[in-house]
Amino acid sequence: MRTSLQIGKLAPNFLTVGVFNNKLGKIRLSDYRGKKYVVLIFYPANFTPVSPTELISLSKRIPEFRKLSTQILAISIDSPFSHLHFLLSRQYEGGLSGLKFPLVSDLTKTITKNYQLLTDDGMAFPGVFIIDKEGVIQYYTVNNLLCGRSVNEILRILESIQYLKKHPGHACPVDWKYGEKIVYSHPLKSKLYFKNIYSISKL
């Protein structure tokens, strides 16, 4: 039975093998429930041209994700041993040496299917899922196979989601960053924001 993916619904759980610090171990998505936000990063396969650029950039920004109580899990259809080879390869060789988050193996392609990212060729579309501490999907997006994703945008959306969780009745306008003006979700109150931003003198 195919899982229905929707914002506000529980993310499909999984139990599989991951590799972190060059060691293999079990990873279960539900183990993070009640503890951390999770950002799932699906990528097509190990040693593909775009994936290392994304994963290395995410690794460099890991302190920012930790500050937001967020765990990154990167998933592909490769075996744990392929992941280990990827992690032992130097970055100048297209590898991921020194990566600061786990690589998750989906050799059976079950996770990729459940998240509706399996291509007709049996690879995975580059997908990003942000899952809150209750295990609920709050955001997802899917990219072209050759189009790199923005770490800045992932962090921006993550901060927006966490802000809105703490401030009911607020909403985040276009390109919102933490500390900037917000708009109220109530239609009448939202007019205060529009009055300040789109005043008659600016038309």
Give the mean pLDDT of 151-163: 97
95-115 pLDDT per residue, tens: 999 999 999 999 999 999 999
53-103 pLDDT per residue, tens: 999 999 999 999 999 999 999 999 999 999 999 999 999 999 999 999 999
pLDDT at 29 over 60: yes
Tokens 């040693």 locate to 47
**What percentage of residues in the chain have a pLDDT greater than 90?**
83
The β-bridge relationship of strands 70-76 and 37-42 is: parallel
**Beta-bridge mates of residue 192:** none
13 Cβ contact list (under 8 Å, min separation 6): 28, 29, 30, 135
Dihedral Cα 128, 134, 138, 139, nearest 10 deg = 0
- Phi first, then psi: what are they for 121, rounded to 5°? -90, 0
Q: Are 190 and 184 in contact (CB under 8 A)?
A: yes
Give the mean pLDDT of 16-20: 98
Nearest to 16 by CA among 147, 105, 144, 149: 105
Amino acid at 47: F
CATH for the 15-148 domain, from 3.40.30.10, 3.40.50.300, 3.40.190.80, 3.50.50.60: 3.40.30.10
- Tell me the three state secondary structure of residue 158: helix
Give the mean pLDDT of 18-22: 96
The DSSP result for 115-134, as a single string, is: TT-B-TTS-B--EEEEE-TT
- Residue 64: both structure tokens together: 């920012």
- Residue 152: both structure tokens together: 């800045």
Q: Are 135 and 91 in contact (CB under 8 A)?
A: no
Q: How far apart are CA 84 and CA 96, in angstroms?
A: 9
pLDDT band at 192 (very low <50, low <70, confident <90, very high): confident
**What percentage of residues in the chain have a pLDDT greater than 70?**
96
Q: Are 114 and 1 in contact (CB under 8 A)?
A: no
CA 94 vs CA 75, 150, 151: distances in Å: 17, 19, 19
